[in-house]
Amino acid sequence: MTSSVSAFLVALAALAADRIVKIMAVRGMTPGESTDVIAGVFNITLVHNTGAAFGVFKGGTLVFSIFSAFVIAFITAYLVMNRIKGRMLAVSLGLILGGAAGNLIDRVWLGYVIDMFDFRVWPVFNVADSCITVGTIILAFNILLKKESHASCTH
């Protein structure tokens, strides 16, 4: 299996997990409702977010929809046209792709993103936001490790 296929499978898994959790939250709660999971630390709180990840830039649904569509198109084209090498890159791009798709679906269908994970000291977020964040961190480490290996080869 190529790394590009692996990336698409990761994206599909991330998207499926995001959709399932969002459907469960919407079916079981009303907007603004909050349930303690770990008292004072972690709640499930249903929020309709018109901003970006973690609730920043409220009201930017159109801008974030366009940006998400661009990210999805860019990553998809990159995966289709180039045979990427390495599991870290495949996982990172798959997570970002799946997360971007999950939030774009909400923005297009609903006009907002469904968020539910509430740690009280951080804005409420969802599975897609987590996938985008973790994917971006893995991608950054992947880039830094490649730069380090190229730098060590030149000395």
| Catalytically active residues, by annotation | 115, 129
Cα–chain center distance at 86: 20
Residues 6 or more apart in contact with residue 24 via CB below 8 angstroms? none
- The first and second tokens of residue 64, run together, are 């974030």
What is the C-alpha separation between 101 and 8, in angstroms, rounded? 12
| Burial (CB count <10 Å: 0-12, 13-18, 19+), residue 122 | exposed
